[in-house]
Structure 1
């Protein structure tokens, strides 16, 4: 069965190295906390807010050994007035037998404000 794993982080500046590093850390924690391998991943969608355009955050996934064949796509997040700026969001779709309520969704930096209900459950 497939399940979605949510992740999000923020960066302080629109710089390629910072965006890629923060995305890499987020992906690695999502994988580690949910005990999945690259072979478990069906695909990954990554969105960024309109203030982030220095890099494709998908590059972070490409730098992790073993992730060459994982399909990944970047896109723009809807520009809702008052929404969290400098934000990178991830939707990772995985094949797993884990119950939906047992999935660990991961939020870093200011992105913990997005889903406090999920971060209180055990995601970071």
Structure 2
């Protein structure tokens, strides 16, 4: 079964591109398809309107459409609090540890890009 990394970078364009690069490297290393959603970032638009992927080191999708959202909502997720609510979950910044967390559960919505997370996101 195919596994995915959903990259929802925040910040300005430079921050977005840097985060995408990190997620892309992770996706390539762990054989996952990278899906990028910048509609909730400072960019507030779909990257596929402005960019196309030329280098296919790993499969990359630059937009999160309804079909993918529905498919993701049927998969396991990491962190587990995001399972089944890929379209609707909200995050807030946690100043104590310096990252985003799920607004309801307080669970971190990011993960370490230095290790694999087996048996999830598929």
Q: Same fold (TM over 0.5)?
A: no
TM range (shorter): 0.3 to 0.5
Please report the TM-score for the alignment, with normalisation by the length of structure 1. Answer: 0.41
**TM-score, normalization by structure 2:** 0.41
- Give the structure with the larger strand fraction: 1
Q: Which has the higher helix share?
A: 1
